Structure 1
Amino acid sequence: MSRAVKRAFKYRFHPTNAQAAELSRTFGCVRLVYNMALQARAEAWAERRERINYNATSALLTAWKKTADLAFLNEVSCVPLQQALRHLQTAYTNFWARRAKHPTYKSKRRSRRSAEYTASAFRWRNGTLTLAKMTEPLHIVWSRPLPDGASPSTVTVSCDAAGRWFVSLLCDDVTTQDPATGIVGIDAGLDSLLTLSTGEKITNPRHERADRQRLARAQRDLARKQKGSANRAKARVKVARIHARIADRRRDHLHKLTTRLVRETQAIVIEDLAVRNMVKNHRLARAISDAAWRQLRTMLEYKAAWHGRDLIVVDRWFPSTRLCSACGALAQKMPLNVREWICPCGAVHDRDVNAARNILAAGLAVTACGDDVRPQRGTSRTGQSSTKQEDPRAAKGIPFFRAGRMSRHHRSPARSFT
């Protein structure tokens, strides 16, 4: 089986001086238009309790271009400016739906420098890409080919803090959904990045720790430079390059790991970790951030959707670590320094492997009885626990605790896994 999906292919490119200057102006205009539209919408709501939509901000943009102070907005392509207004509309839609916080202003130094071009603002011809307001095509480093016959529908150009230029091409692609069997439970950790219910442990590479001395030395050099000087700008780029190296290696490792998991198993069970709350622990914040558990889950979500897999998310309040996977007894305490423990029933447990097996059992309970989608501390929406909703013989060996929830993006009817 195969499935048509929208997929972005990201490449490095090396702009000429004229192209870099044009793109830098575009980035500044996009940031300005976004901030002005955000201010207009915020003022309209504060003064008149009026919600301004995309059409109203688009009309404001036309009026801004006719003023003497903002006439320079006509020098760049109008498409990235309109796309900035659409992005602001999306941000407000998510805010009204309570999926995100209120939009904030873009900063010149901290915000991502990017511009989005639709099909009317670029020319794709014989594998060359030419953006609006430019006479020469971009010099793209084709690290991998595009799908056969693919033509980009949207192009996003960006520049990171290390001074590297990237272009992202959004194309139609076809992903194969090869058949797979089995279900695996995954416990995320720090010593071992992932522990599978099969007993396999995947070592945590700790990319940030490997470059910590280089990063500290570069940051000390940056602190010694005078603010506003050219040497400080060079030192800042050196720090950014080290951060980029760490992020690239981490992302590459997570891509390889998640691709392997999705291709080998039909269903994956993970925990709903509150990473934002966990990084408030100042002793573990650096290690948790380096593990990138949230990025790992995001990759699993969209790759599972591509390949037709099921991603089951167990409720964060499920006591997977303190629960005996053999008899279902619940330990009262389980400090972090306890890596192995013995249950009163005589079973000897590795802390991480036991947690992964309990997560797997919770995932089986979800597939057997269709537990609620939303994470709740008590029972499900039906008022019964997972084990009470199914036949007692089917629940044999599954601990009597609320199992968890199926990911809202990949929930499917119950099936059997072998």
Structure 2
Amino acid sequence: MQLRYNFRLYPTPGQRQALAKAFGCARTVFNDGLRTRQEARAQGLPYISDGELSKRVITEAKKTPQRSWLGEVSAVILQQALADLNQAYRNFFSSATGKRKGPQVAPPRYRSKRDNRQAIRFTRNARFQVTAGGKLRLPKIGDIPVRWSRDLPSAPSSVTVIKDAAGRYFASFVVEVGDEPLPQTASEVGIDLGLTHFAVLSDGRKIDNPRFLRRAERRLKKAQQALSRKEKGSNNRKKAVVQVARAHARVADARRDFAHQLSTRIIGENQAVVVEDLSVKGLARTKLAKSVHDAGWAQFTAMLAYKAARHGRTLTRIDRWFPSSKLCSTCGTLAESMPLNVRSWTCPCGAVHDRDVNAATNILAAGRAERLNACGGTVRPAA
């Protein structure tokens, strides 16, 4: 399994200038390649192959006065920028022909120097390395200090240097990690994700919703108001933009850390985990969009998936249309309707249910049925 290990970088002023030049060169090659293919299509010419495109926008372009400065950076990052363009075209063609599942993929677009995120990628061909002193050595950039929060499990196959909107630099290493099976346990859990509580477990536990964005709204509002008062194009406005970005970065970091800790604990305690296959994109179109995005359900379930695969656990996703809230977990009676303001209800059989705990219990039961069917069990019980 391949995972990414991210670490904070602290480049010197000279290294920041070299990184800015590398970001600009990679962006230029990407845009030149995209423009070349668009012009060829407008003229009715055949699709330009990857090798021919590399020859035009990199090899031949370096010999011209307009693009001679491309030779001042590592050639690997230029090739990787072009590889990103080629992959974007392949994804677009696969989506247009129906070979790629999921939402429709748009054609590649031009990259702007005003994008909040800038990145370049070095592969092993670039001969990057971690020095004996713990610094990251990059070609034509130098040795950049790194804050190592943990050790790399293996030699990285590539490293991506990222500059985010808050002006922070990160190194994202792609490493190969082996499976680390955890001791077997008989515990299984169903998870009902919500907004009142972030998660309600089938064993009755309720995890409060941190609401990181809601808690930071006052600080974000002040930073945004300070930005609105600055004159456009001024240096003070640029500083205010960074302050707003840093406030949002703190919220995103806190949300990611919460999801990591909770997903690790759940995977460590349970042999099987069952969740609903929620349509986050659809819920984000409702009036609850802000709260849905603040919860970060998709990020949390993605962490559950890869951690379960690595540690020998089972993650099951059940249909989002499964009536988990309206179904009595005791007798199986299905209620006709249940508005969202109903948080507890009594079944005709006499069972009193907490809406969320009952939903989590039903989710766990549905996940067990899915696993039984996959192993050759009966689809429905005999009469």
TM-score, L = length of structure 1: 0.83
> Residue by residue, what CA displacement relative to the aligned partner does 1:78-99 show, whole Å, maximum 9, x if unpaired?
1111111222222233333324
Aligned ranges 1:235-246 → 2 under 5 Å: 235-246=240-251
Pairing partner for 1:19 from 15, 21, 39: 15
Asked if 1:389 corresponds to 2:379, the answer is yes
**Which whole-Å CA distance do the structure 1 matches of 2:340 and 2:86 have between them?**
44
**Which whole-Å CA distance do the structure 2 matches of 1:330 and 1:248 have between them?**
41
> Residue by residue, what CA displacement relative to the aligned partner does 1:69-126 show, whole Å, maximum 9, x if unpaired?
2222111111111111222222233333324512333232235211100122223332
Match of 1:137 in 2: 143
Corresponding letter in the other structure for 1:138:
I
User: Are the counterparts in 1 of residues 182 and 311 from structure 2 also a CA contact under 8 Å?
Assistant: yes
Q: 1:55 to 1:286 in 2, by over 3 A?
A: same
SS at match of 1:325: coil
SS at match of 1:145: coil
SS at match of 2:274: strand
User: Are the counterparts in 1 of residues 116 and 164 from structure 2 also a CA contact under 8 Å?
Assistant: no
Match of 1:358 in 2: 362
Match of 2:36 in 1: 40
**Which whole-Å CA distance do the structure 2 matches of 1:129 and 1:178 have between them?**
33
**Which whole-Å CA distance do the structure 2 matches of 1:49 and 1:342 have between them?**
70
**Which whole-Å CA distance do the structure 1 matches of 2:373 and 2:234 have between them?**
64
Pairing partner for 1:257 from 259, 262, 272: 262
**Which whole-Å CA distance do the structure 2 matches of 1:265 and 1:49 have between them?**
58
TM-score, L = length of structure 2: 0.91
Aligned ranges 1:16-415 → 2 under 5 Å: 16-45=12-41, 47-48=43-44, 50-61=46-57, 62-98=59-95, 99=100, 101-102=105-106, 103-121=108-126, 122-126=128-132, 127-134=134-141, 136-147=142-153, 150-181=154-185, 182-282=187-287, 284-370=288-374, 389=379, 392=382
User: Are the counterparts in 1 of residues 199 and 208 from structure 2 also a CA contact under 8 Å?
Assistant: yes
**Which whole-Å CA distance do the structure 1 matches of 2:308 and 2:47 have between them?**
37
User: Are the counterparts in 2 of residues 369 and 390 from structure 1 also a CA contact under 8 Å?
Assistant: no
**How far off its partner does 1:345 sit?**
2.0
The unaligned stretches of length 5 or more in structure 2 are none
More helix by share: 2
**Which whole-Å CA distance do the structure 2 matches of 1:226 and 1:208 have between them?**
27
Between 341-350 and 63-72, report the one with greater CA deviation: 63-72
SS at match of 1:233: helix
User: Are the counterparts in 2 of residues 176 and 307 from structure 1 also a CA contact under 8 Å?
Assistant: yes
User: Are the counterparts in 2 of residues 368 and 390 from structure 1 also a CA contact under 8 Å?
Assistant: no
SS at match of 2:111: coil
> Residue by residue, what CA displacement relative to the aligned partner does 1:225-278 show, whole Å, maximum 9, x if unpaired?
111111111111111111011011110010011111112222211111111111
> Residue by residue, what CA displacement relative to the aligned partner does 1:190-211 show, whole Å, maximum 9, x if unpaired?
1111111111111111111111
Corresponding letter in the other structure for 1:31:
R
Match of 1:7 in 2: 3
Percent of aligned pairs with the same amino acid: 49
SS at match of 1:104: coil
Between 108-117 and 39-48, report the one with greater CA deviation: 39-48
Q: 1:85 to 1:200 in 2, by over 3 A?
A: same
User: Are the counterparts in 1 of residues 116 and 165 from structure 2 also a CA contact under 8 Å?
Assistant: no
Q: 1:308 to 1:92 in 2, by over 3 A?
A: farther
Q: 1:387 to 1:39 in 2, by over 3 A?
A: farther
Q: 1:207 to 1:66 in 2, by over 3 A?
A: same
Q: 1:91 to 1:307 in 2, by over 3 A?
A: farther
SS at match of 1:317: coil
**How far off its partner does 1:304 sit?**
1.5
SS at match of 1:70: helix
**Which whole-Å CA distance do the structure 2 matches of 1:306 and 1:388 have between them?**
30
Q: 1:294 to 1:44 in 2, by over 3 A?
A: farther
The unaligned stretches of length 5 or more in structure 1 are 372-385, 394-418
Aligned length: 371
Corresponding letter in the other structure for 1:125:
T
